Structure 1
Amino acid sequence: MALAVGAGVVGLAAPASAVTGTATASMHCQLPPGSPSPNPRDMNSTYTVEVPDEVQPGDVLPAGSVKVTPSPTGVTVPLQLTLTMTPSVTFELENAGIPAGTKVTVTGAVQDPQTVPANGEPSIAPWTNNAPITIPASASPGAIKWLADSSKTITTITNPPLGAQETTCTANAPKVAIVTNQIPVPTVPTTTKLTPNNGGPGTAVTATGVNFAPGPVTCTASLAGVDTDTGTGTADAAGNATCSLTVTTKADSIRIGATPGKAFVWVTPIEGVPHPVDIEVLPGALAIGPAGGLPTLDLGSITINGKSQTVTGTFNAAAVQDFRGGSLGWDVTVTRTPFLNTATGHAMNTAALTIAPTCAVTNPDSPSPCAVGAAGAITDTPKQVASQAPGGEELTGGEFAVGGGASLKLPPFMFADAYQSVVTFSMA
């Protein structure tokens, strides 16, 4: 990554949790007249946000169900003032089926007046939504990510009587993901394995499964959806089922209960002289490339103006290949070196670089999907940006492209120079 500074998006992310998340949001704020300089200014405030668990698109959240707890703002007032505040935060919602840019606002009730001494710091008490919030409907049920978009506090100043003053703050890009409500994965009965998974007439097969009601179970062989042979078994108190049957006629699937079946390979008995044909399939590589490295991400140039500035770009995608032929997973992480000019010795030690990761399947025959890591800062500590979960009894692997959006927040002052940092994508 290279950046030329002629004559200079905030790394804002926090891991999501089940119902509560905390993150530091960097806001660009226009303060009321008479506030200490600079005005406007950049401020950081830590928000803890609580949302109901199991919220689905289309739900209506009742008043009082979303709670916002801010940290001190770091803003001081030059004179003793009596303030009354009405706070709110607007969130952008992310879900595969919700239209991009969809926003909801959590507005609190008018808070009790507070008297702040000269050079003191006003505080904002935690608040909950004072009106119902409708989550837009979506064709993709699932978890919803809440990203802080902007905040607004209506501040009425009564001493001296300056009238209603409004402080408006807008989040610096990229928006910060504060909390993701969890949608529990249904524990549906599942047939997990057949032992053996092939054979001819008279083959004894043991089928196993998970998440069944404790007690007797039935397993069934079928051909093209038509049931053939059946067997019996039991599920223990933990829901682990074991069922045995003997395959007497041709079948292509065996299942426990009403679950989707596992494939069974029918071996037709043939009269004559057998002539076995053997082949060994060797595992391929787990690799990330290209070996020669990715093209430079050039963020262009920017002019020093005495304020923090943000530039954005896109990391070129690294190719991931998992040809191991097993059920293992993998992780891709990123690290970076400091922004330096090795010829002049100048450095931008306070420059904040972040990534909003992406991961796409590039081979449609890939047996596995890939998961995207949370957006956040890139440092010399490895940060996960993409992963493939182990498959258990299922085959994993495939071909993928891992990249993401790049955001760089620059300090207000630095040496005018050309700087470079090397971002490294690594796999394990």
Structure 2
Amino acid sequence: MLRRLTRRRVAASAVAGALAAAGVGLVALAPAAHAGTVNATVRCTPPIVAPSEGPQEITVELTPATVTSGGLVHARVTTGPSPATSPIALTNIPMTPSITLAMRGAATGQVTVTGATTNINVPAQQPIQAPPYEGDFTVPPGVTGVIEFTVVSMVTQTDLSSMGLGIQSTPCAVTAGGDVSIGSVTVEGGTGQNPTLTLGAPSAHTGTDITLTGSNFASGATASLTLCQADGTGCVASAFTSKNVTIDASGNLTGTARLATTGIADGDYLVQVTDGAKAATAPLHVSKFVPEGDPVLNVDRSSGPVGTVVNVSGSNLPPNSTVRLNGVNAQGGTESGSKNYMTDGNGVLAPSPYTIQTAATTHIRVRLLDLAGTPQYLLPFTISADLQQHPTVTLNAGPLTMTQAGDAINFGSATLNGTAQTLTANLNQVTVTDSRGGNLGWSLTGTMTDMVAANGTDKIPAGNIAWTPSCAAAPGSLSTVANGTPGALGSAAATLCTQAPDPAAATGGKFTADAALTLTTPAFAAAGTYTGTLTLSLI
């Protein structure tokens, strides 16, 4: 689970009993073909009432029967009636179920399948029944053979916000009968490279955006995003409230996703992205921003006539909380027309407009509505008869482009003498201009063909050409550029220059890309002129 339980007092034990029951149990449906079933004893531990233990039938169907190393397995889970019952009826309660399976055979460890959130109705004094659920998990990369799966535990997250209890988690451990295999998959060696995932920063606060980049995903596939425990279990999609992540035709992944403001305890996690066939993960430390000391509050103007629009901004505020702006007079009276705004997950209040209502205004009051006692802060404002004008300008995003100084690379000539010889040349300078005005990064790569003689048969392998990149940012650029790794060229893309994304600041500018080239001739080859093609790609 992604939320550490905070116990809260409730007025009635009946409500607590209902919470315990809501944490377990799924309705028994007819098992699908080739599904595995185990009749286990489970012990469920609700957050408030006493644990409940009893028999429960658990059925899991795994497809496909054969996957590649590092590939995805789809699981469909149904269970029989729960051993728990509710002392009261509950209506339309959101519940998110998951099941953890242990692996044995070709791989060990655990995987977790998390279903979608559904609303259930809980009759009083009857076993809990809820719909079956489905989800995916990833088999470990680098293994081959048969992996068998057994049931370890189940967890449900139950949203009891309508009862003032928030989101609660109920783990249900299998105490007997869990050693029976519920199915197996055969893992074969995969072809191609496994996908990779990189995050813009190693840590983030709840309620904030994270930046994602990756490669080697399925071309044009739909990206699915979950947040998992550090050991890869307990993956849930609900940890992200929004996402804008895409995979292009080359299998490159880019985008952002926003962490939920609640339901994620401080700690280390894995962000997992799947493309329907394979998955990649990257570590992320998540924490709630905790302000220290007083807030920092600012206004963009502290004087003006009635009707002046003042933008109030701040930092070191409570994260994801409501801030109310009011004008006040010298006697502390408030004027009408208050405005409410929200801070972000980093405790920052973006510039928030407030219009001065009366000539008696002496301060703008900032109140923190979600804190006990609703603390307030006063920002001085002076009414004046001055007239003000406020110029504005809109800067539209431009393109990411590149140009080159030429297209001919001449290594000169060499006389065959029975030994390999080294010839040198320089890459025609490439200029990259990033005018997008965002915080994105880019990568300039190159691929090389074999050099072919005029007869169309004799070749010098592409790998005989190597480069040493040299990249620089022009004055006035907003970001820096990094050199690629020196080495041989070939059909696989080699990096010439990269600019990393920066979630905290704008990126862009003009950058030059150069490289020293070396060609190692074969000791013996057909005499003649050889030509090839070096292709540069900017993404």
Per the TM superposition, whether the score is higher than 0.5 is no
Higher radius of gyration, 1 or 2: 2
Q: TM (normalized to structure 1)?
A: 0.38
